[in-house]
Chains A and B, each alone.
Chain A
Amino acid sequence: MAAVIGWRKKDFWWQSPVVFLEDPADAHRLVWDPFTIYSPVKFLLDWQERCNAKVGIFVKGCDSRGINRLLQDKRLERERVVVYGLPCGGKADAEKIRASFPAKEIKSVSLLGEQLVLAVGDKEERIAAEAYLLDKCLTCRHPNPVVYDQLVWEEVLPRQKADESRFARVQAVTSMASEERFAYWQRQFERCIRCFACRNTCPACNCRVCIFDQAEPRWLGKANDPADTLNYQIIRAFHVAGRCFECGECERICPAGVPLQEINRRLIKDMNEAYGDYEAGLDVTDQPPLGTYRGEDPAGFDES
């Protein structure tokens, strides 16, 4: 392997960014802690373009479905990647920890079973982890990698409430009346600055030249026009429809706090109800719902 992609520890307790190690001697830099959150999967796209050698990559459950996404979209060759699967019990939300503990005094945070162990000042605090996990981890239904060459440790059980809570927020928004819903989304979208972090981090957004980056035709304008933001939000959601595997990175990474999972999951729910239950990123040979059809498909509109 020419390199291994994993996570390392940086200066602060909440920083465990992605690292590319090219020298086996650096292997000790790799870490696994409550903050090894960032999906390393999209870096594979750059790597593939730049060299022909194999690369190793460590993936959590959610990340592994990103690998399948790239494989199914023919953006990655399976032989070029050695996948190390890491079953994951959830990652911590630094904001939630900072809200409860004096941030400057925290020295380290680690996960032990269902407990978070914090070294705060001189003391050690042990707290139930669940309240401090990332929102996306609370609804995680696939903590174990679904594709790997080597499973590094034992599989974990999925979170008990994950299934029930999967569409809870979608249902809450749906239950609003139409005008109330429009006002809700206006408030969310007016914060969108079109930084495209969501698109950048999403493994389903893997086109060589993204439609939103094109100038001719100009599908999306440059100016911060609310209608154009709506254009972006609608088309982004539509382009990942049937391909999104709910890793939640888009919502987590959004600097403006736009609740993107409430949109992605709404489409998943609609398509499950109309075309049968389907989960993206589990089987690279299956057919995503918008790439297939049945003669008897229902329509979301009056067919008379």
Chain B
Amino acid sequence: MPVTNEGFEPVIVAFCCNWCSYAGADLAGINRMSYSSNVRIIRVPCSSRVNPSFIIRAFQRGADGVLVTGCHPGDCHYHSGNFFTRRRLSVLKQLMEYLGIEPQRFQVRWISGSEGAKFAMVMNSVAEEIRRLGPNRKLRDVR
């Protein structure tokens, strides 16, 4: 049963690809869209740079949620990067859920450089979902 703590604010690590989703995040800023401050962005050149080990590491170090965002498939600046992201992270996500990790904790979303509104909306909805789930206890290092 998820434990909800009053006033719990999750820490969410978001890996954003430089060409699309990081630009989308900037656009959300340029348009002064408001979203919850729980998310911390790590810039990567392509979503295919995101190693599953980074994701697990984030959870181990205490992140409550991890988000990977990239260009829409077909629009990758490097042609095929996000096609590999799609396969790799689908496999990882299904594995984590099989092992009993809540599906909302690790999410993958496609956000283009012109989708500032979508970026803000995704940040808000992911933060809200994880707020409701409560702190990450299952994957967090004890020591």
Please list the residues of chain A having a beta carbon within 8 angstroms of any beta carbon in chain B.
Answer: 173-174, 178-186, 211, 219, 221, 223, 225-228, 230-231, 233-235, 237-238, 241-242, 263, 266-267, 270-271, 274-275, 289-290, 293-295, 297-303
Task: Take A227-B142, A237-B95, A297-B83 as given contacts and tell me if A274 and B90 are in contact as well, using a CB distance cutoff of 8 Å.
Answer: yes
Task: Take A178-B100, A185-B99, A295-B74 as given contacts and tell me if A300 and B90 are in contact as well, using a CB distance cutoff of 8 Å.
Answer: yes
Q: Which residues of B contact A290 (CB under 8 A)?
A: 84, 87-88, 91
CB pair A270–B91 under 8 Å, yes or no, is yes
Bound form: Cα–Cα A230–B107 in Å: 19
B128 in contact (CB, < 8 A): no
Bound form: Cα–Cα A183–B57 in Å: 21
Q: Which of A226, A231, A293 contacts B87 (CB 8 A)?
A: A293
B44 in contact (CB, < 8 A): no
Please list the residues of chain B having a beta carbon within 8 angstroms of any beta carbon in chain A.
Answer: 1, 52-53, 56-57, 59-60, 73-74, 80, 83-84, 86-102, 107-110, 138-143
CB pair A234–B93 under 8 Å, yes or no, is no
Min CB gap B122→A, angstroms: 10
Q: Which 6 A-B pairs have the closest CB atoms?
A: A182-B100, A300-B90, A293-B83, A181-B100, A301-B108, A227-B141
Q: Which of A185, A234, A266, A297 contacts B56 (CB 8 A)?
A: A234
Min CB gap A3→B, angstroms: 38
Main DSSP-derived SS at the A contact region:
helix
Q: Which residues of A contact B91 (CB under 8 A)?
A: 238, 241-242, 267, 270-271, 290, 300
Q: What would be 23 A-B contacts, judged by CB atoms less than 8 Å apart?
A: A179-B1, A180-B100, A182-B101, A186-B100, A225-B142, A225-B143, A231-B60, A235-B53, A238-B88, A238-B95, A241-B91, A242-B91, A263-B98, A274-B90, A290-B91, A293-B86, A295-B74, A299-B90, A299-B108, A300-B89, A300-B91, A300-B94, A303-B110
Bound form: Cα–Cα A149–B126 in Å: 56
Q: Which residues of B contact A263 (CB under 8 A)?
A: 95, 98-99
Q: Which residues of A contact B89 (CB under 8 A)?
A: 300-301
CB pair A227–B140 under 8 Å, yes or no, is yes
Q: Which residues of B contact A226 (CB under 8 A)?
A: 142
Bound form: Cα–Cα A69–B142 in Å: 37
Inter-chain CB contacts under 8 Å: number: 119
Q: Which residues of B contact A242 (CB under 8 A)?
A: 91
Bound form: Cα–Cα A179–B101 in Å: 8
Bound form: Cα–Cα A149–B57 in Å: 45
CB pair A301–B107 under 8 Å, yes or no, is yes
Min CB gap B79→A, angstroms: 11
Q: Which residues of B contact A294 (CB under 8 A)?
A: 83
Min CB gap A46→B, angstroms: 27
Q: Which residues of B contact A186 (CB under 8 A)?
A: 100
- Which B residue's beta carbon lies closest to that of A170? B98
Q: Which of B57, B98, B140 contacts A266 (CB 8 A)?
A: B98
The residue in B53, B74, B88, B108 that gathers the most chain A C-beta atoms within 10 A of its C-beta is B53
Bound form: Cα–Cα A294–B83 in Å: 7
Bound form: Cα–Cα A178–B101 in Å: 8
Task: Take A181-B100, A228-B60 as given contacts and tell me if A234 and B87 are in contact as well, using a CB distance cutoff of 8 Å.
Answer: no
Bound form: Cα–Cα A231–B55 in Å: 10
Q: Which residues of A contact B141 (CB under 8 A)?
A: 221, 225, 227-228
Bound form: Cα–Cα A185–B96 in Å: 11
Bound form: Cα–Cα A302–B88 in Å: 15
- Which B residue's beta carbon lies closest to that of A235? B53
Q: Which residues of B contact A275 (CB under 8 A)?
A: 87
Min CB gap A257→B, angstroms: 17
CB pair A266–B95 under 8 Å, yes or no, is yes
Q: Which residues of B contact A228 (CB under 8 A)?
A: 60, 141
CB pair A297–B87 under 8 Å, yes or no, is yes
CB pair A227–B60 under 8 Å, yes or no, is yes
